[in-house]
Structure 1
Amino acid sequence: MMSSRLMRPAFAAARSTATRTAIRTYAAPAADTKPPVALFGLDGTYANALYTAAAKQNVLDPTSKAISSLTQILKSDPKLQTIIAAPTLSDSDKSQIVAELEKHTGGADKSGTVKNFLSALAENNRLGLLEGVCEKFGTLISASKGEVELTVTSAAKLDDKLLKRLETAIGKSEYSQGRKLKTVTRVNPDILGGLVVEIGERTIDLSVSGKISRLNKLLEDAV
């Protein structure tokens, strides 16, 4: 099991953008442990540190499974995100939260890598970043497998046939660049209708709310 002392330099270094040099020092070993794509933001910094720590221990696959399990829990229980992001958590509260989250890793975290990561987030009062870190870690894993993430946001749940047609069309387009698609669907009633398609760094906004925004801008520019 990786000791918490080995993990802590990487995760503690992610406290602020001012300490990114420390992260680079920890995460600059051999190329095969380096995150495959560039990520930004504090959640991206933590995701990079987690990827590097897991790669060093050769536990990327089980770590990915553990993080996927945590992602499912966070998405299925919206109240959980509010609880872990509370600014008034005591040290005892944080320890209990870490222990509870560890239970939901599906037994995949035998190396303790994810537990150490969660402990580092708790110590630095960054548990509120967990969902974002999990998502960005998934991006790193997909990139390491030669996949590209396709995120489709709709106002209501998409019909499976329509989703398959969309995947097929994008898979044949220049957007996928010949890579395997990893599809993530999201529901956001605020877009009113239509779709917002994100693939890699590109966003195709075909939503009703997007069209209204563009129309409003045209009207404002015309006045």
Structure 2
Amino acid sequence: MNTGLIAVRYATALLEFAKEANLVETVYDEAKLLTLMFSKMGRLRHALENPVISTAEKRKLLLNAIGGKASKVYEKFTDLLLENNRESLVQNIMLKFIDLYRKEKNIRYGKLVTAYPVSQKTEKSLIKLITDKAGGTLELEKVVNPDILGGFTLEVEGVRWDASVSGQLQQIRNEFTERNSKIV
């Protein structure tokens, strides 16, 4: 069974269904929330794959995972997945749906990691810089990680810029090690 192909088909169907109901943005937000829950709660996936847990309980889990207030599209789609025993693919389907939505709306996804929280002004400047060069819009996830010491790392669609202090220290360490290995 090709789960990737199945996930793409269901995600495409969900996108079309959401368009027909004029709820694409709502379903997109629900999909992002659900994938966030999957990453935060590893047990959710195990519960959905557990054959002992009833379909009704799995439905309740999927609805509660997004806060309990689900759109009709999300509810009906959840019922379809459970009816067809595709609950183990929910996370992949939602990730594919998010990809399809972003591609259609020309939205780029980026992750900004800084040692300290950035100001709104800095965030807006960074977003403008990227969208001016790449076009479209940018959806930016911000993460604070004191381990980078200072500066930032930015990753947008697989391209990574490392302007962090820890990254520069690592580069110096690598150069030092390489030069010393040639001496010995």
Q: TM-score, normalised by structure 2?
A: 0.70
Q: Kindly tell me the number of residue pairs found equivalent between the two proteins.
A: 173
Instruction: String of CA shifts for 1:146-197, please: whole Å, max 9, x gaps.
Output: 2222322223332211111211222233xx1x22222232333443332111
**Larger helix fraction of residues:** 2
- 2:159 paired residue number: 202
Residue 99 of structure 1 deviates from its aligned partner by 2.0
Residue 133 of structure 1 deviates from its aligned partner by 5.8
Secondary structure in structure 1 of the residue aligned to 2:42: helix
- 1:211 paired residue number: 168
- 1:181 paired residue number: 138
> Identity over the aligned pairs, expressed in percent?
17
* Structure 1 residue ranges without an equivalent (≥5): 1-11, 15-19, 27-45
Seen in structure 2, the aligned counterparts of structure 1 residues 185 and 67 have a Cα distance that, compared at 3 Å, is same
Residue 141 of structure 1 deviates from its aligned partner by 0.9
Find the partner of 2:87 among 121, 129, 148: 121
Q: Indicate whether 1:165 and 2:129 are aligned.
A: no
Secondary structure in structure 2 of the residue aligned to 1:83: helix
Seen in structure 2, the aligned counterparts of structure 1 residues 86 and 155 have a Cα distance that, compared at 3 Å, is farther
Seen in structure 2, the aligned counterparts of structure 1 residues 13 and 205 have a Cα distance that, compared at 3 Å, is same
Q: TM-score, normalised by structure 1?
A: 0.60
- 1:43 paired residue number: none
Instruction: String of CA shifts for 1:15-36, please: whole Å, max 9, x gaps.
Output: xxxxx6xx2xx6xxxxxxxxxx
Secondary structure in structure 1 of the residue aligned to 2:111: strand
Q: Tell me if the contact between 1:63 and 1:114 (Cα under 8 Å) persists in the aligned partners.
A: no
Instruction: String of CA shifts for 1:77-117, please: whole Å, max 9, x gaps.
Output: 97x51222448963243742442222436322436224444
Q: Indicate whether 1:106 and 2:65 are aligned.
A: no
Residue 135 of structure 1 deviates from its aligned partner by 4.8
CA distance in 2, matches of 1:56, 1:221: 54
Seen in structure 2, the aligned counterparts of structure 1 residues 49 and 109 have a Cα distance that, compared at 3 Å, is farther
Find the partner of 1:81 among 41, 47, 59: 41
Secondary structure in structure 1 of the residue aligned to 2:70: coil
**Which one-letter code corresponds to 1:180 in the other structure?**
T
CA distance in 1, matches of 2:138, 2:33: 20
Secondary structure in structure 2 of the residue aligned to 1:203: strand
CA distance in 2, matches of 1:217, 1:114: 50
Residue 144 of structure 1 deviates from its aligned partner by 0.3
Secondary structure in structure 1 of the residue aligned to 2:9: helix
Seen in structure 2, the aligned counterparts of structure 1 residues 182 and 77 have a Cα distance that, compared at 3 Å, is closer
RMSD over equivalenced CA pairs, Å: 3.5
Q: Tell me if the contact between 2:109 and 2:138 (Cα under 8 Å) persists in the aligned partners.
A: yes
CA distance in 2, matches of 1:87, 1:120: 13
Deviates more, 1:211-220 or 1:157-166: 211-220
**Which one-letter code corresponds to 2:86 in the other structure?**
A
Asked which structure has the greater CA Rg, the reply is 2
